[in-house]
């Protein structure tokens, strides 16, 4: 879940610090944000597993 959240922050930071060549959220960025969102969702569903090793 943490890696997904970090991913979302990082992907949004691309625009915040204007690292990319283009303004706005591009198609690849949108795809990556969706993937990061999915990782967060999967992370949330794994919370009940507690400290069980992955």
Partner 1 sequence: MKRSWQYGLAYAVIGLAILAFVYYFIVYNIYAFALFRFPFDYEQGEGFELANVVWYSRGETPYRDSSSYPFFSTNYAPVFHLVILPLVLIFGPEYWTGRLVSYLGTLLTAAAIGYAVQRESQRWWLAAISGLAFLASNYVYHVGPIFRQHMFMVMFETLAIVWLAVTVSREEQTGQKSNRGWLIGMGLLLLAGYTKQLAYATIAAAFIFLFLRQWKRAILWAIGFILTAGAIFLLFTWITDGYWFISTVASNINRFVPGQTVALLRQFVQLHLIIVLAAAAFAVYQLYFERLSIYAIWFVLAALNGLTAGKWGAGESYYATAVAAACLVSGLAFHRLLAWGEQRAADDKPLAVGSWGMAPPILLAGIGLLYLIQADRVFHSPTHTPFLRGVAAALGKPTYAEIPPQTGCSAPQPARPVYYVDSAGVSLLGIPPTAEDAAAGREIAARVAATNTPSFSEEASFNLYNGREVITNPPYLLNLFENNLLDLTEMLDALDQQQFDTVILRSQFYPWPILQMIGQRYETQELIEMNGFVYCIMYPTQR
The nearest distance, CB 34 to partner 1, in angstroms, is 12
CB of 45 to partner 1, least distance (A): 8
**Among residues 7 and 16, whose Cβ is nearest to partner 1?**
7
CB of 5 to partner 1, least distance (A): 18
Instruction: Please state, in angstroms and rounded to a whole number, the distance separating the CA atoms of residues 22 and 42.
Output: 31
d(CA 10, CA 26): 14
Residues found near partner 1 in the complex (CB under 8 A): 27-28, 42, 45-46, 49, 53-54
Phi-psi region of 24 (alpha: psi -120 to 50; beta: other; left: phi over 0): left
């Amino acid at each position: 879940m943490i890696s997904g959240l970090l991913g979302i922050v990082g992907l949004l930071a691309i625009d915040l610090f204007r690292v990319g060549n283009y303004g706005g959220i591009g198609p690849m960025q949108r795809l990556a944000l969706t993937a990061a969102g999915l990782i967060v969702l999967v992370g949330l569903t794994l919370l009940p597993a507690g400290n069980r090793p992955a």
